[in-house]
Structure 1
């Protein structure tokens, strides 16, 4: 397995909280899934607890897992401040280990796209499957590749979003991307501009998963895709959907591949 890239962008947990403070549109979806599952729930790549903590506030037994100590320190402090009983695990998602078995495991907001190589992807999916209860569900959340966006030229920057810092300063985020079709990795350079001056730069790389490829990878890891949606409103998945939300369950029996029919025996005349 390859080493994970771009982890340095998650060192600054305080700025991460500021950057994603306004991102709330996905929380109701995962909260509803957690309530339906009833717990225990595991969020993989939980960050500072943006989704984990609302689940805990709803009274659901929840565990947050992340590889970054800085993110978990912030998440742990937030749960302590609210006296929420959340277990936090500092682990690599490719080697999850826990004595618990979870009714729901999920990876939100494109987090699994930090896994660039096949071995890492299959290791994560297999590891997640092993900590599921019988009948438990794994939910994967990745973007649906848009060929027009993948074809953007690196020399053509575009406005990506804006971020409001704690002091009220607005940062305009300008993005440049390049896509490597051989590895299916989309590389972003994000420049954070204040008054037109760049005050921060991030580099992030994300593996693109095409729909049938992702379903095949799940099957390779012993998972069956039982449902697929195109966005957090649970709209049907189509080729133009912005998201791929896959509901996976452990395969109850190994896949059977029928033996090919025997070739006829040819006897010399």
Structure 2
């Protein structure tokens, strides 16, 4: 694995205002994270913290929050959002594959598919090793990713599919985004392309990026190989993120993929 970068090279993570505008609809998980923090906080670490979207419900529960984010633009946006929380909110620039904060946390979360940017087993295991370094015996780790759907992975090559629509305040227009993908089953990498258009200008922006498709058996193998979870288990859940009791009761329907468990602390190393 190459040395982790101190800045995101992905175009989708270099314009914080556009990112927030694109994801105006993503609110269905906020109550879940607030309740989870109330149950397992109060010291919370979010990896790939983005523009601070999940920090707000975490801080609403009166927790102390540390967010690790690689993108300078996203960090600047998050700092503005979280300024009123003072010392309860801390933001750190760093790469989730290689970070060392010299403290442990009660709850560590990786939300909204951020884990999918770890494109190889090596990268995933490096991130999980860093997670373990920041665990005590009672730490809880929660990873939120989706279960890959064959209908999504094996669409005809070059077929454009509507992905999202949003109002872009920077250009003062409604933007429609279409998506194509090309999936490689050998590497489990899904190569995606987003086409941004307005009524006046088609494809004014085109962004390419790649996501690793983590199937439940792969996550189970990686988590156990990393020695991260003592009583971890794969949880498959329907639609929106479930209420907390559904996570514990293992509700099953393969739409979202949540890994929830008690993490092995640094005292278990060696």
Length-normalised TM-score, structure 1: 0.86
Shift in alpha-carbon separation, 1:242–1:163, aligned structure 2, 3 A: same
Q: How far, CA to CA, are the matches of 1:115 and 1:123 in structure 2?
A: 9
Length-normalised TM-score, structure 2: 0.86
Shift in alpha-carbon separation, 1:55–1:84, aligned structure 2, 3 A: farther
Which stretch shows the higher mean deviation, 103-112 or 20-29? 20-29
Which stretch shows the higher mean deviation, 150-159 or 39-48? 150-159
Cα RMSD, aligned residues only: 2.2
Q: How far, CA to CA, are the matches of 1:187 and 1:198 in structure 2?
A: 18
**Counterpart pick for 2:191 among 187, 199, 202:** 187
Higher relative contact order (CA 8 A, sep 6+): 2
**Counterpart pick for 2:153 among 150, 171, 174:** 150
Runs of 4+ in structure 1 displaced over 6 angstroms?
A: none
- Residue 61 of structure 2: aligned partner: 58
- Residue 256 of structure 2: aligned partner: 243
CA contact (8 A) 2:37 2:61 kept: no
Unaligned runs of at least 5 residues, structure 2: none
Where do 1:30-109 residues align within 5 Å?
30-81=33-84, 83=86, 85-109=88-112
How many positions carry a matched residue from both structures? 253
Q: How far, CA to CA, are the matches of 1:242 and 1:89 in structure 2?
A: 31
Shift in alpha-carbon separation, 1:143–1:43, aligned structure 2, 3 A: same
Q: How far, CA to CA, are the matches of 1:58 and 1:251 in structure 2?
A: 25
- Residue 235 of structure 2: aligned partner: 228
Which stretch shows the higher mean deviation, 1-10 or 188-197? 1-10
Shift in alpha-carbon separation, 1:100–1:251, aligned structure 2, 3 A: closer
**Counterpart pick for 1:25 among 17, 21, 28:** 28
